[in-house]
Structure 1
Amino acid sequence: MRRKYQCQVLSDVVMLFILLSLMGFHLWSEYIHEWLGTILFLMVMLHVGLNTHWLQKLFQGEYCAFRLLQLSINALLLLLFLSAVISGVMLSRHLLPDLVIHSSSDLVRKVHMASVHWLQIIIALHLGIHWRMLANFFCKIWHISPVSVLITRILPLIFSAIAVYGIYAFIQRERLPYLLFQVDFAFFDFDESMFLFYWDFFAITLSGAYLSQILIWLMTFRQPVRR
């Protein structure tokens, strides 16, 4: 297995954990939050650098439904990431407090919160697009047959249950108003369990990944019956 691909998957896993940590703003100090955001930015740059082959092929070949879906998700991912980074830099009070563009206005804060929450959803869809590839990767690392009962029956059942719980967590934690740009100030439960918080947001992410799997199935794998 190529070392470059191993590096890609490892960096993707680390980015996912950092993203979940950033969602738990109240569980860390503001100083750590800004450092985590900076590290995520650098890792995204690394991720783009390791995937330049995809960019080089952007204007080559025909665009099927799957490729259009992939391009749309990646374009949204880029726009949301830039929005989250720029608004985060404007709000920075520790690492970049003296920038000319510094602003702690309600509008910038709302943009940052909405961007980050949308970013989690789109990253989940992005993860779902590469789900099969990642599954094959981990099967090779752990020396598990991709046609074993564990892979074809047990794990899909477990992941499906977690994804269903993720929908409940999304509703229970009232994430929709963040996506609709309706939250002016976030109210946090500083006494809640860190494990429960990250479990809920991991489940929400898994729900998004499963949603993209359903979209892929609807768009590319359902073939009309020929008579």
Structure 2
Amino acid sequence: MSGKLMFRLGNDLMMTILMLFAIAYYITGNMVHEIIGIVVLVQFTIHNFLNRRWYKTLFKGKYNVRRILQIGINMLFLITMAAMMISAVLISSDLFPFIPIDNDMALRQLHIQAAYWGFIIMAVHIGLSWGMLINSVRRMTNIKGANPIRTIGLRTLAVLIVAYGVHASFEEEIGSKLFIYSPFGWFSTQSTAKFLIDHLSIMGIYIAGTHYALKFIQKQEESPARKTALAAKLKEDK
């Protein structure tokens, strides 16, 4: 695996972890929260720079269901991140206290909801690239060929993560955090370890759901092509 790909994967992994800690405001406190936000902004900028060729291909080639979904999710992720970062600077009390904002309640609400929507969209964004990530891990670990036992074990683990993630979604009231007005944020007394386990499991719902939805869509798109190819071959054989 090339050093560039390793750097890209490392940057994305650290950005994901730091975004989780950024949501845990009650654990980090405001100063650490704002510093993490700056680091995430830098990493997000690096992420987009390394993937700048993707923007150049937006209006080229064919648009199938997978590509339309990818473009839509990527644009939503970009919008939510921009809204979260801009509102963060405007309501900052430690790193940017010199910016005068008289009534910041609306901005605080925008920041909080953009953060939680960004969290969900980020998980879907990862799910869109999950197949590529799996292949990268296989190359790193020199895993070749299929192994039924490994496949069953990993799929069982995925089911358990999703099941716990559904439980954690209700326990964490994710739906309320996405839609209900709360400019002062959401507080909890859970430990850092439980917070990470819960939110990683919640991400697992959307990563797994997106990954397997794409596999289903791909099969549906390949079926007509296979039938056409088979019909053409039968015609040639005649």
2:145, 2:184 → 1: CA distance?
Answer: 46
Query: Aligned with 2:58: secondary structure?
Result: coil
Pairing 1:113–2:112 present? yes
1:146, 1:199 → 2: CA distance?
Answer: 31
Query: Aligned with 2:40: secondary structure?
Result: helix
Alignment match, 2:45: 45
Contact 2:123 2:207 (8 Å CA) reproduced: yes
Pairing 1:74–2:41 present? no
Contact 2:87 2:111 (8 Å CA) reproduced: yes
Alignment match, 1:201: 199
Pairing 1:93–2:69 present? no
Query: In terms of mean alpha carbon deviation, does 146-155 or 26-35 score higher?
Result: 146-155
Which is bigger in relative contact order (C-alpha 8 A, separation at least 6)?
1
CA RMSD of aligned residues (A): 1.9
Larger radius of gyration: 2
Alignment match, 2:157: 158
Alignment match, 1:16: 16
When residues 69 and 58 of structure 1 are mapped into structure 2, their CA distance, relative to the original with a 3 A threshold, is same
Query: Aligned with 2:195: secondary structure?
Result: helix
Taking the TM superposition and a 5 Å limit, the aligned residue runs for 1:177-192 are 177-190=176-189, 192=190
When residues 53 and 177 of structure 1 are mapped into structure 2, their CA distance, relative to the original with a 3 A threshold, is same
Query: Aligned with 1:183: secondary structure?
Result: coil
Q: Report the residue type matching 2:84 in the other structure.
A: A
Contact 1:26 1:188 (8 Å CA) reproduced: yes
Contact 2:131 2:211 (8 Å CA) reproduced: no
Instruction: Give the CA deviation at 1:163.
Output: 1.6
Query: Aligned with 1:222: secondary structure?
Result: helix
Q: Report the residue type matching 1:88 in the other structure.
A: A
The two structures have a TM-score, normalised by structure 2, of 0.88
Instruction: Give the CA deviation at 1:6.
Output: 1.4
Alignment match, 2:130: 131
Contact 2:77 2:118 (8 Å CA) reproduced: yes
Alignment match, 1:35: 35
User: Residue by residue, what CA displacement relative to the aligned partner does 1:154-196 show, whole Å, maximum 9, x if unpaired?
Assistant: 1221122112211111111111112114334334224x21100
When residues 97 and 160 of structure 1 are mapped into structure 2, their CA distance, relative to the original with a 3 A threshold, is same
User: Residue by residue, what CA displacement relative to the aligned partner does 1:74-101 show, whole Å, maximum 9, x if unpaired?
Assistant: 010011001100111111111111124x
Pairing 1:147–2:146 present? yes
When residues 56 and 193 of structure 1 are mapped into structure 2, their CA distance, relative to the original with a 3 A threshold, is same
Taking the TM superposition and a 5 Å limit, the aligned residue runs for 1:213-224 are 213-222=211-220
- How many residues are matched? 225
User: Residue by residue, what CA displacement relative to the aligned partner does 1:104-158 show, whole Å, maximum 9, x if unpaired?
Assistant: 6221111111100000100000000110110111122122235234642212211
Contact 1:177 1:183 (8 Å CA) reproduced: no
2:23, 2:188 → 1: CA distance?
Answer: 13
Q: Which runs of 5+ in 1 are unaligned?
A: none
When residues 151 and 58 of structure 1 are mapped into structure 2, their CA distance, relative to the original with a 3 A threshold, is farther
When residues 29 and 182 of structure 1 are mapped into structure 2, their CA distance, relative to the original with a 3 A threshold, is closer
1:144, 1:136 → 2: CA distance?
Answer: 9
